Amino acid sequence: MVLLDSIRRGLHVSQRMPARRVARIRVHGGYLPDTIHVEAGVPLRLIFRREETSPCSEQVIFPAFGKSAMLPPGEPVAVDLPPAAPGEYEFTCAMGMLRGRLIVERQPREISTQPTDRLRGIFTPARDPEAMRRERRH
Ligand SMILES: [Cu+2]
């Protein structure tokens, strides 16, 4: 219960920092999902929940980040990763049998910084609405 509460608090904090991306991964004969997409420059929190007792999956390793975590069965475990450069980053169990990957994609800056202008560019009506209204009356 204490653990669940602290996780809930953690999620609450992350909601106040919209930059952080949170993804949940079930561990059961593999990582579900086994591919996580994230934008470059965004800190990532992965919450693992191991739903098996097979010793194979008791540890998850992020070689490129120099991070690892033990995953007790049935307990959510958060792994925080710093923003990463675009690319693919693998995570595995200790023996390298279970594999997942993070795909860090370049941020589409022109969309994220200028959403309104961008949408206006795409959705500008071909004809001016007043002209269309006049046509409909005829
Ligand atoms: Cu393993």
Query: If you measure from the C-alpha of residue 102 to the centroid of ligand 1, how many angstroms do you get, rounded to a whole number?
Result: 18
- In-domain check, residue 127: no
> Is residue 123 one of the residues assigned to a domain?
no
> Does a structural domain hold residue 39?
yes
Tens-digit pLDDT profile for residues 25-52: 999 999 999 999 999 989 999 999 999 9
Residue 124 inside a domain? The answer is no
* Residue 102 or residue 6, greater confidence: 102
* Domain with 10 in it: 2-108
Count of domains for the chain: 1
Other C-beta atoms lying within 10 Å of the C-beta of residue 131: 9
Give the burial class of 102: count Cβ atoms within 10 A of its Cβ; 0-12 exposed, 13-18 middle, 19 or more buried.
buried
Q: Where are the beta strands (DSSP E) in the chain?
A: 21-27, 31-32, 35-39, 44-50, 59-62, 67-70, 76-81, 87-93, 99-105
- In this structure, the number of other CB atoms found within 10 A of the CB of residue 20 comes to 16
Please tell me the distance between residue 61's alpha carbon and the centre of ligand 1 in angstroms. 10
- Kindly give the distance from the C-alpha atom of residue 93 to the centroid of ligand 1, in angstroms, as a whole number: 5
Q: Give 12 or 33, the one with higher predicted confidence.
A: 33
| Cα–ligand 1 centroid distance for 94 (angstroms) | 6
Residue 118 falls inside a structural domain: no
Q: What is the pLDDT of residue 49?
A: 98
pLDDT over 90 at 129, yes or no: no
* Domain assignment present for 52: yes
CATH of the domain at 67: 2.60.40.420
In a domain, residue 130? The reply is: no
**Within-domain flag for 131:** no
- In the predicted structure, residue 53 carries a pLDDT above the cut 60: yes
Mean pLDDT of 47-59: 97
Model pLDDT for residues 68-117, shown as the tens digit of each residue: 999 999 999 999 999 999 999 999 999 999 999 999 999 765 554 444 54
pLDDT higher at 60 or 131: 60
Q: What's the 92 CA to ligand 1 centre distance in angstroms? A: 8
C-alpha 99 to ligand 1 mean position (Å): 9
Phi, psi of 47 (to 5 degrees): -110, 105
